[in-house]
Chain A
Amino acid sequence: MIALGLEGSANKLGIGLIQHDMTTSPPTVTILANVRHTYHPPPGEGFLPKDTALHHRSHILELIRNALADAKITPKEIDVICFTKGPGMGGPLTSVATVARTLALMWKKELVGVNHCVGHIEMGRQITGAENPVVLYVSGGNTQVIAYAEKRYRIFGEALDIAVGNCLDRFARVLNLPNDPAPGYNIEQLAKKGTKLVDLPYTVKGMDVSFSGVLSYIETNAPALLASGEYTEADLCFSLQETVFAMLVETTERAMAHIGSKEVLIVGGVGCNMRLQQMMDQMASQRGGKVFATDERFCIDNGIMIAQAGILAYQTGYTTPLEKTWCTQRFRTDEVFVAWRE
């Protein structure tokens, strides 16, 4: 069984082809293709929905052709077409969904609309082999501490305002760091040279976190701190990372203690950050636990994760009828009925 996955909920356009060999139990999973093209706005700017949608429309057909060529298969061999139904930006989502619908009609395939967050979780589980971890999902648009219970991915903690990746990205704009390959990546590199810790707001509310206060504080004070000569840009990046990641690790640990779980899985774009992975690892080893993380191929938005989550749903008999293939910007992780897990 082969699934095509189309993802374009933010500035990454990803196409993936995945194969599940159903003759073995559990099915043997092979990644046939995983290609991506990213829209980078100029330094100091974020990506706007209109420009991002245009980027996706301009590149999607070429990317699908590349994916089919990588996989060395023809459209005939595809069983199901999976696309991101939400959450994400409206324009980019619908431009990709339109392609999914068209292909499904042309090639006479079934469609499966996938929740982006569930895509991340299923890809992380598949790649790392983590059985039933507490999931920290951190990206530019999402910050959630999740655990599975009774057919749902339940949200134990989340950001009450902006996502952690958004906080980092917006600080990158203050420093005018390039958006290529990613603003968060450039902060991470600069933070490695930082040594001095600036005292920043630290906001944890039970298992929830808040980042808007720390962002406002550092945005407002950065010019004066830099001008004083006491702190460098690297120190500020270092301080921001140390503070916000400590908040994330603390709430993840609280969820682990609450549920009694020993495993953590980090997914989402910010999950590639090596410092975050290291901190999580230190936390886990202090409590005899284990961390699972993936690299940028699977952490950052991609088409494979949509194909993976979609094919799992498809195997339980789930499809999305054409008239229900609309997209939604608001689609919570816990709205999805997880039929494919015990």
Chain B
Amino acid sequence: MIHNAQLIKQGAEAKVYLAPFCQRQAIIKERFAKAYRHPTLDKKLTSRRVVQEARCLNRCQKALIDTPTVYMVDLENSLIYMEYIEGISVREFLVTAEGETPEAQSRVAKEIGTALGKMHNIEVVHGDLTTSNLMMRKETGGSVVLIDFGLSYVSNLIEDKAVDLYVLERAFTSTHPNTEVMFAQILEAYGESSKAAKLILKKLEDVRMRGRKRSMLG
């Protein structure tokens, strides 16, 4: 369907292709129909998410937060054409020799926290923050880029932003055991860059209590 495209990844939401576009390499994100989902529900979710993703990426870009630049949106076919970022994910980075050092982790944590604070300042909630969705740009020697805004939306609610951080925290503790220090550093940097950090971090404490079957000792 897409000319000269090479499938590079099948995420949960979409297929990601690498293809030439206007004399450069571009990422094409295709949200394909999910066979398991009722067609009506599928269409509703897909078209909503394509629009939200493009809007949120654009909003971040305008606020100078490093995210992939959107080149084109093809709503009919649920396609978003965007900048190809060369580099590795934070998830991959954390298992490299360099990524295991406290110095590198601390640097990356600071960058992540700052970027997330800025993103929340412009009322963008990512919705699916994991270490797979944080990339490190090769050309700048590993600066952090936020990617995959597939579940993102615009909201000014403290609650939504706190849940956003909670999702990342869970991704950290489940995927990378023993990185509590790094996550604390992310929150520290977040505290400096986010305008409503005090309220959001306080809300995060409430959100943490929400999963079921938590032990309530002490």
Contact = CB atoms under 8 A, between A and B. Distances in A.
B215 A331 contact: yes
A65 to B, nearest CB: 33
A154 B128 contact: no
Contacts of A242: 37-38, 41
Contact of A257 (B10, B38, B163): B10
A246 B41 contact: yes
Give the residue among B35, B130, B174 with the most A Cβ atoms within 10 A: B174
Contacts of B34: 246, 250, 282-283, 286
Contact of B45 (A87, A152, A202, A208): A202
A337 to B, nearest CB: 13
Contacts of B213: 87, 142, 329-332
Given A206-B167, A246-B37, A246-B38, A258 B132 contact: yes
A159 B44 CA distance: 23
Interface in A188-239: 197, 199, 202, 204-208
B89 to A, nearest CB: 10
Interface residues of B, number: 35
Contacts of A256: 12
Contacts of A249: 36-37
A147 B163 contact: no
Interface string B1-45: 000000000111100000000000000000010111110110011
A287 B34 CA distance: 11
Given A206-B130, A335-B215, A243 B41 contact: yes
B167 A205 contact: yes
A279 B37 CA distance: 7
B177 A205 contact: no
Contacts of B41: 197, 202, 242-243, 246
Given A282-B36, A332-B215, A206 B45 contact: no
Contacts of A147: 174
Nearest to B216: A330
B130 A258 contact: yes
B49 to A, nearest CB: 11
A137 to B, nearest CB: 11
Given A206-B128, A254-B128, A258-B171, A149 B177 contact: yes
Contacts of B171: 156, 206-207, 258
A326 to B, nearest CB: 13
Interface string A246-287: 100110011011110000000000000000001110110111
B214 interface: yes
B11 A257 contact: yes
Closest 10 CB pairs of A and B: A206-B167, A279-B36, A254-B12, A282-B36, A257-B12, A282-B35, A253-B12, A154-B174, A242-B38, A87-B213
15 contacts: A149-B175, A155-B170, A160-B210, A160-B211, A197-B38, A206-B127, A206-B167, A243-B41, A256-B12, A258-B175, A259-B175, A283-B34, A286-B32, A330-B213, A332-B211
